[in-house]
């Protein structure tokens, strides 16, 4: 296992104990487990976004963690022509749902630190906000899962996804 992967795993273990002093380094598309993920296993996908208003670009940071708390995968995902940081968070949520479907998961928990995006994903009512099209896409993609739940988490509990998004946007 490379030093980058070990560092990411060490950060997650330290984070669970409430410490967040380490700087996270990564490379694109880190795959930590080599074995194929059992699609019946419930996993959690954390998402966050970084936004560059001058270039109208955003980068999503995605982290897939299994029941045991082990990182299965991390992934940055870019977007162009993004109007706001609010839209960037919605796109990050969409990337999280699409990652779950591409892995072939049946059951997933999606966690992010945008309370508004999480609440809009949970509701069945038609959204009329600036991110309505993206929320509708998330809700449509969610139908491919047997079970899906969306949960708001504090930013301090979402630092790995945030760092992935932030560092990937800086490198772009």
Q: Per-residue confidence at 40, pLDDT binned at 50, 70, 90?
A: low
Let me know: does 22 contact 10? Beta carbons within 8 Å: yes
| 44-77 pLDDT per residue, tens | 999 999 999 999 999 999 999 998 889 989 999 9
User: pLDDT category, 32, cuts 50, 70, 90?
Assistant: very low
Three-state secondary structure readout of the chain: CCHHHHHHHHHHHHHHCCCCCCCCCCCCCCECCCCCCCCCCCEEEEEEEEEECCCCEEEEEEEEECCCCCEEEEEEEEEECCCCHHHHHHHHHHHHHHHHHHHCCCEEEEEECCHHHHHHHHCCCCCCCCCHHHHHHHHHHHCCCCEEEEEECCHHHHHHHHHHHHHHHHHC
Asked if residue 75 is part of any domain, the answer here is yes
Q: Which CATH number belongs to the domain containing residue 157 in this structure?
A: 3.30.420.10
Q: Give residue-wise pLDDT tens across range 104-142.
A: 899 999 999 999 999 999 998 888 899 999 999 999 999
Q: Is residue 2 part of a domain?
A: no
What is the band of 36 on the pLDDT scale with cuts at 50, 70, 90? low
Structure tokens at 68: 């045991």
Q: Is residue 130 part of a domain?
A: yes
The winner for highest mean pLDDT among 4-13, 17-26, 56-65 is 56-65
Q: State the pTM of this model.
A: 0.78
pLDDT at 38 (0 to 100): 57
Task: Write down the pLDDT at residue 124.
Answer: 85
Alpha carbon distance 165, 158 (integer Å): 11
Residue 47 lies in a domain: yes
Q: Do the domain assignments include residue 101?
A: yes
Provide the domain count of the chain: 1
Assess if residue 23 is contained within a domain: no
The answer to the question of residue 141 being in a domain is: yes
Domain that includes residue 40, residue range: 29-171
């Amino acid at each position: 296992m490379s030093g980058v992967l070990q560092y990411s795993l060490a950060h997650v273990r330290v984070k669970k104990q409430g410490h967040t002093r380490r700087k996270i380094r990564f490379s694109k598309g880190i795959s930590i487990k080599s074995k194929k993920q059992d699609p019946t296993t419930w996993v959690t996908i954390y998402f966050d976004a970084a936004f560059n208003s001058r270039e109208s670009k955003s980068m999503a940071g995605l982290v897939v963690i299994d029941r045991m708390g082990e990182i299965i995968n991390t992934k940055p995902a870019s977007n162009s022509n993004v109007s706001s940081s609010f839209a960037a968070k919605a796109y990050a949520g969409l990337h999280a749902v699409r990652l779950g479907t591409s892995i072939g998961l049946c059951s997933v928990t999606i966690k992010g630190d945008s309370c508004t995006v999480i609440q809009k994903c949970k509701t069945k009512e038609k959204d009329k906000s600036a991110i309505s099209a993206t929320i509708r896409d998330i809700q449509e993609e969610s139908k491919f899962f047997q079970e899906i739940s969306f949960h708001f988490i504090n930013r301090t509990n979402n630092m790995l996804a945030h760092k992935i998004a932030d560092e990937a946007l800086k490198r772009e």
